[in-house]
Structure 1
C-alpha cells in the first residue's frame, strides 16, 4: 500500500497531546444575556456566535476576494473523533481525511461532495477505509474493515444511514467535514436562540492554541438543565487564520462537585491543508493507493 499520509502513532499521539494541553493567554470577553424570553428581533447571547458561524460558512463557500482568499474547495486533515454512543464513550478514532466540498470547477462542472477516510487507530480499526461521493454509487458508501477483521472481511457498499454503517457512530459520513460542522452549529444555534436568553451564556477567549495554531475559544453554556438544550457546555475552537472551527466538544450536565460533565462528542481537525487539488481518483475505490 502506498498511502502517502501514513504517519507514526507517536506523531498522532503528539498531535492529540497538543490538543489536550491548549493554553490561554488572554482574558475572556463575555457576551451579556437579557433576562426575558427571546422574541423575533430581540438580541440574544448567541447572536455573536451565529455571526461568526455564518462568516465561516461564507468563507468556505465564497472565500474573501478582497483579501485574495479562495473558497474552500477541498482539503486534507487528521481528525480525532470521540463520541458517546448508547451511553458509552468510544475510544478516540484517529482518521486521515480527504474532503471535497460541492462546488463548480473551472470547466463549469458541478463537483459533488466527496469523502475519503483512513483510520490510523485505535488498533481494532487500524486500516479501515471509507469513501462516499454524493449522488454517485446509488448514494452508498464503500468501506472495508480494519484491524484483525480486515484480513478476511470483504469490501462492502452500505447505505450511509443504515444500521451497519451507523454502528458505533453518532452521525453518518454524509455529515463529515468542516462545512457540515458549521452548518450544524448554525442549525443548533438558531434553534436554541428561540429559548430563554438568561439561560444561555456565551464567551469568547483569545490566545488558545490547537496543535500550535492560534485559535479563539467560543463557549456556549446552559446553567439550567432542560430537555430543550442538547448540552450543558459546548466549546468551539476557531482557527484564527482559517476563520473556521477546528475543534468542537460538547459536555453533558456535570454531577455535583464537578466542573464539567461527561463528554458527549468531540471532534478535532489538525494539519489542515486547503485547496490541494483533490481529484476524482482520490474518491475512487480503484485508487491503487487504497486497499479496497
Structure 2
C-alpha cells in the first residue's frame, strides 16, 4: 500500500515537471506563428495608399456599365431552342450564346452571390461547401466567406495588393495559432483544399473557359453537344447543355459536362464536370470532378473600399 502511494506521488510529480516543459515549446510555436502573421496595420496602409491613388470616390456602383449596348446585343441573340437540339447547329448556337455571355459579364463591374461547390482534389471527393462570394472585375478582387462545412473561414485576394498574395484564415481553433496567412494563390498551401486558384474564381472566368471549349467543339466531330430545357426540383426553368467526348486529349480535361444557364441573366450559373475513367477501369462509371452552382447573383450591389479590405470590421482577419 505504501509502495503504491509512493509510486502515485512520484507519477504526479513527473506530470508537474512535464507540464511546464510542454508549455514552453507550445508557447514558442504560438508566438512564432503570430510573428509570421502579416500585420493588419501594414496591410491597411498599403490598401489606403492604393485606393487614394486609384479612386477618388468612396463608393463604387456595381452593375452593367453599358445598359443600352447590352440591350442591343440581347436583341441580336436568337432565343434558346424550344426543343432538343444537337449537332453542328447546336454547337454554333451555343458558341454565339457564350460569346454574348462573356461580353455581358465583361460589362459588369462586379457582383455578390452565394456559391455551392464540390471538388475532387488528388483523387478524393471533398465535402459540399457553401460560400458567400464578392467579385470585383477591375481591378480583380475576390472575397470568400465559408458558411459550411467550416463556417467562419475567409479568403481575400486583390490583384496588385498584398504582393499579389492571398489572405486567409480558418474559422476553427487553428485560427488561434495562425490568425492570418498570406500565401501564393498558386502555391501548395492555397491549393491544398482548392481545385483552382482564387485568381480564376467567378462567373467571368467560368464563361471564358466555356467559350474556349465551345470554339474547340465547333471543329471537333467527336465532340457531342446537346441543347435542351429543363425544370428543376423547385419548378425553375433552366436552359441546359450537355457535352461529351469519345477520347481523352490534353484539351479535354473532362469526359462529360452538364451546364445550366439562367434564362433571365443569359449566363451559366451551374456546371457539373466528370473526370475521365481511370486506366484499367472497365465499369464505365464517371467520377464527379467538380460542381459549382451560383445563386442569388446581384449585379446591382454597391461596393465600398472595405469590401476587399482585410481591415473591414465585419471580417475576421484581425488577431484575437
Q: Report the TM-score range of the alignment, normalised by the length of the smaller protein.
A: 0.7 to 0.9
Does residue 120 (structure 1) correspond to residue 147 (structure 2)? The answer is yes
Which runs of structure 2 are paired with 1:53-132 in the superposition (5 Å)? 53-62=98-107, 72-102=108-138, 112-122=139-149, 125-132=150-157
Contact 1:211–1:270 at 8 Å: present in 2 too?
no
1:225 shift after superposition: 2.5
SS at match of 1:203: strand
Indicate if the aligned counterparts of 2:90 and 2:227 stay in contact, CA closer than 8 A: no
The structure that is strand-richer by fraction is 1
Instruction: With the length of structure 2 as denominator, give the TM-score of the two structures.
Output: 0.67
Report 1:241-252 matches (<5 A). Answer: 241-252=264-275
TM-score (norm 1): 0.73
Aligned to 2:258: 235
What residue number does 1:15 align with?
none
1:225 equivalent in alignment to 2:270? no
Match of 2:87 among 15, 32, 56: 32
Larger Rg: 2
Show the counterpart of 1:68. none
Task: Pick the structure with more helix per residue.
Answer: 2
Distance 1:240 1:27, change over 3 A: closer
What is the CA distance between 1:188 and its match in structure 2?
Answer: 2.7
Q: Secondary structure at the match of 1:227?
A: coil
Contact 2:248 2:255 in 1 (8 A): no
**Alpha-carbon separation, structure 2, partners of 1:86 and 1:210:** 32
Is there any run of 5+ residues in structure 2 with no aligned partner, and where?
Answer: 1-80
Matching residue of 1:214: 237
97, 103, 124: which one aligns with 1:52? 97
Which one of the candidate residues 309, 312, 315 is aligned to 1:287? Answer: 312
1:171 aligned partner: 196
Structure 2 CA distance for aligned equivalents of residues 147 and 213 of structure 1: 36
For 1:147 and 1:126, the matched residues in 2 are separated by 8
- Per-residue deviation, 1:214: 2.8
Alpha-carbon shift at residue 150 of structure 1 (Å): 2.6
SS in 1 for 2:206: helix
CA gap of 1:212–1:281, structure 2 versus 1, over 3 A, is farther
Q: Measured at CA, do residues 243 and 120 of structure 1 come closer, stay the same or move farther in structure 2, by a change above 3 Å?
A: same
Unaligned stretches of 5+ residues in structure 1: 1-25, 34-43, 63-71, 103-111
* Aligned pairs, number: 233
RMSD across aligned positions (CA): 2.3
Cα pair distance change 1:264/1:101, threshold 3 Å:
same
Per-residue deviation at 1:73?
1.7
CA contact 1:128–1:150 (8 Å) conserved in 2:
no
Cα gap change, 1:73 to 1:211, in 2 (>3 Å)? farther
**Matched residues in 2 for 1:206 and 1:289: separation?**
41
